[in-house]
Structure 1
Amino acid sequence: MSHPFALNRIHHAAYRCKDAGETVAWYQRVLGMRYTNAFAEDHVPSTGAYDPYMHVFLDCGGGNVIAFFELPNQPEMSRDPNTPEWVQHIAFEVGDLDTLLTAKTHIEAQGIDVLGPTYHGIFRSIYFFDPNGHRLELACNIGTPDQYEELERVAPLMLEEWSRTKKAPKHAQWLHVDPGSLAE
């Protein structure tokens, strides 16, 4: 019988980009990531198919890596028309609310529209798009150990109810009430 194995971490997450150089420069300038390495081939190593590509890697901090593929011989990249643009996103963590607000100011100074901060109960987030159309999120955790424990407790109950009804369970409705908005 087979047994699960232990994962160490995500090695990298890879996405497509329109222009590798522009993407690297944007992530360096806007998010302060470090460009670490690139692979370029005419044939895909895993399939052998002819499909020239540039594969670039950026260090996001904390041992996390994001990568992009530029694929000049493929049709122009687009979004899945059946998935709302807010669904597929890449979320990066920042240390605290002050850093999140400083990041918002910096990103807006680059001429990028930023949504938020948005309250999510255990974290606050801002949202914006990279030059490839990927939605990005910066989030700072604000939850307490009791809140995380409660969310872990109700997670199986919520999934079971959702699977049965396809309606939003209310077990964690408290996540959506911003205590700052109650003061008004």
Structure 2
Amino acid sequence: MTQAPQLQRIHHVAYRCRDAKETVEWYGRVLGMAYTTAFAEDHVPSTGAFDPYMHVFIDAGGGNVLAFFELPQQPEMGHDPNTPAWVQHLAFEVADGAALLAAKAHIEAQGIDVLGPTYHGIFRSIYFFDPNGHRLELACNIGTDEQYRELRELAPVMLEEWSRTKRAPRHAEWLHQEPVGDGDRA
């Protein structure tokens, strides 16, 4: 029997973009991410197919890398019409509620619409879109060690119930009730 690999971390996550230069500049200006590397080829290394591309990499902090492909020979990029826009997104963590609110102010000052902060029980989030139409989330953790422990213990039970019923299990009702007077935790 073989053994599953021991993963170290995510090496990079790649998405498509409309314009590599615009995307690199936007992520630098709006989210402070540094542009680190680029690859450009006329042929895809893994398949050998002719498909010119620019592959750019930006530093998302903490050893995390976000990458984009510009594919000028392909049809215009689109999104899955059967999946709501709020589902497919990329979430980044910020330090705390103050950092989340400061990020919201900075992003809105760039002329970008921001939704939130939204309460999720153990974290709060804001949401917005990049110039390629990808939904982004910034989140700050607000949960206690006890809450995280409870959710780890409930996770298998909730998944099993969901699998049987396809209805939202309500085992941790506190997740759905924003505490009154908790605005300072943003």
Q: TM-score range by the shorter chain?
A: over 0.9
Q: TM-score, normalised by structure 1?
A: 0.97
Q: Which residue in the other structure is 2:67 paired with?
A: 67
Q: How does 1:153-164 map to 2 (within 5 A)?
A: 153-164=153-164
The Cα offsets for residues 104-145 of structure 1, whole Å up to 9 and x where unpaired, read as 000000000000000001000000000000000000001110
Q: Which runs of 4+ in 1 moved over 6 A?
A: none
Q: How does 1:21-36 map to 2 (within 5 A)?
A: 21-36=21-36
SS of corresponding position for 2:77: coil
Alignment RMSD: 1.2
Whether 1:106 aligns to 2:121 is: no
Q: Which residue in the other structure is 1:135 paired with?
A: 135
- Distance, in Å, in 1 between the alignment partners of 2:5 and 2:86 is 33
- Distance, in Å, in 1 between the alignment partners of 2:4 and 2:25 is 40
Structure 2, unpaired ranges of 5+: none
How many angstroms does 1:56 deviate by?
0.2
How many angstroms does 1:172 deviate by?
2.1
Q: Which residue in the other structure is 1:14 paired with?
A: 14
Call closer, same or farther: CA 1:182–1:126 in 2, change over 3 Å. Answer: closer
Query: Which amino acid in 1 is paired with 2:14?
Result: A
SS of corresponding position for 1:39: strand
Call closer, same or farther: CA 1:47–1:177 in 2, change over 3 Å. Answer: same
How many angstroms does 1:67 deviate by?
0.2
- Distance, in Å, in 2 between the alignment partners of 1:51 and 1:172 is 49
How many angstroms does 1:171 deviate by?
1.1
- Distance, in Å, in 2 between the alignment partners of 1:64 and 1:75 is 29
Q: Which residue in the other structure is 1:41 paired with?
A: 41
Structure 1, unpaired ranges of 5+: none
- Distance, in Å, in 1 between the alignment partners of 2:145 and 2:83 is 33
How many angstroms does 1:181 deviate by?
6.4
Q: TM-score, normalised by structure 2?
A: 0.96
- Distance, in Å, in 2 between the alignment partners of 1:182 and 1:69 is 41
Q: How does 1:161-176 map to 2 (within 5 A)?
A: 161-176=161-176
Query: Which amino acid in 2 is paired with 1:84?
Result: P
SS of corresponding position for 1:23: helix
Q: How does 1:50-89 map to 2 (within 5 A)?
A: 50-89=50-89
SS of corresponding position for 2:180: helix
Query: Which amino acid in 2 is paired with 1:135?
Result: R
Bigger mean CA deviation after superposition, 167-176 or 142-151: 167-176
How many angstroms does 1:176 deviate by?
1.4
- Distance, in Å, in 2 between the alignment partners of 1:58 and 1:182 is 35
Whether 1:144 aligns to 2:144 is: yes
Query: Which amino acid in 1 is paired with 2:113?
Result: D
- Distance, in Å, in 1 between the alignment partners of 2:142 and 2:182 is 17
